[in-house]
Amino acid sequence: MTTPDIQQAATLIEQAEALAITCGAGMGVDSGLPDFRGDNGFWQAYPMYKHLGINFYDAANPSHFADDPAFGWGFYGHRTNLYRSTTPHSGFNILKKWSQRFNLDSFVVTSNVDGQFQKAEFDTQKILEVHGSIHHLQCLRPCCQTIWNNKEETPVNLETMRAQHLPMCPYCQGVARPNILMFGDFSWISARSDAQEQRFHDFLDQRSTYQHPPRGNGGINGYRSTSLGLICQYTPGE
């Protein structure tokens, strides 16, 4: 960004009546998290998958949990442990300080499943996780619509990328899976994200007549355009 861009951004924040924070994988990079951008980015983070010829699209697939749960949980168990041990970078605090300094109500909309905004102590009632959260589980089948907190320890053998412990469903004793929308995923339970989404629409309703983004899966592009639209709507002279 150029200096005039930064000045314009500062003016917009100063004049804003609320702060809608939209973000994706890039937000985690400064905390040291991989963004899986392109096959090389993914394989750099997970050399074993390169050896096996598996890319991010293949690894983030619910079929592994049914076919070979220890392998499916290898990828997600490792990421759970990584996100749990990661400290959110100072940018999270900068966003919180803007909100406090200008007395702005704020709402986070993120496609990340890493729970870093909760870890940075943002208000959990004002976060929309469009693709769900790795810190919540559901039944693989699913036998019921329940979503529960992931309190399991899932160590992973990095040589084989296989989990050494499998989280199980407490209701049917079958395998549990992360409550994340994966690729080719027809059994993700969206109730938790749906409730978050309703709170975000309420947040928008309270302060603007802005046209809402589309609801449901794939809405992240809608949130991107909402982000740009909100900026244009509140930019003086546009």
Q: Which residue of 102, 171, 210, 234 would you call a contact of Zn ion, by CB under 5 A?
A: 171
CA distances, 156 to each of 52, 77, 103, 150, 208 (Å)? 16, 6, 44, 16, 47
| Minimum distance of Zn ion from residue 69's CB (angstroms) | 13
Helices assigned H by DSSP within the chain: 3-15, 26-29, 38-45, 47-52, 56-59, 63-67, 69-85, 90-101, 116-119, 191-205, 220-234
* Closest CB 139 distance from Zn ion, rounded Å: 3
Encoded tokens for 104:
């702005």
Residue 13 engages Zn ion in binding (rule: CB under 5 A): no
**Nearest-CA neighbor of 173 among 203, 141, 151?**
141
Least separation in angstroms between residue 177's CB and Zn ion is 10
d(CA 189, CA 83): 22
195 binds Zn ion (CB under 5 A): no
Q: Which stretch binds Zn ion (CB under 5 A): 50-58, 84-92, 166-174, 201-209?
A: 166-174
Q: Is 148 in the site for Zn ion (CB under 5 A)?
A: no
**CB of 25 or CB of 172, closer to Zn ion:** 172
* Minimum distance from residue 64 beta carbon to Zn ion (Å): 17
Q: Which stretch binds Zn ion (CB under 5 A): 70-78, 131-139, 152-160, 222-230?
A: 131-139
Name the helix (H) or strand (E) containing 115: none
* Contact between 172 and Zn ion per CB under 5 A: yes
Strand-pair partners of 12: none
Closest Cα to residue 81, out of 7, 134, 23? Answer: 134
Smallest distance from Zn ion to CB 192, Å: 16
Query: Could you say whether residue 12 binds Zn ion (CB under 5 A)?
Result: no
Q: Give Rg (Cα) of the chain.
A: 19
- C-beta of 80 vs 138, nearer to Zn ion: 138
> Is residue 175 within the footprint of Zn ion (CB under 5 A)?
no
Of 169, 182, 189, 204, the one binding Zn ion (CB under 5 A) is: 169
Q: Which backbone phi and psi does 106 adopt, to 5 degrees?
A: -135, 155
Q: Segment near Zn ion (CB under 5 A), from 14-22, 30-38, 105-113, 132-140?
A: 132-140
* Binding residue (CB under 5 A) for Zn ion from 94, 143, 158, 228: 143
168 binds Zn ion (CB under 5 A): no
Taking the complex as a whole, the smallest distance from the CB of residue 162 to Zn ion amounts, in Å, to 22
Element (H, E) at 110: strand 105-110
Distance CA(33)–CA(72), nearest Å, equals: 20
Which residues of this protein are in contact with Zn ion, per CB under 5 A? 139, 143, 169, 171-172, 174
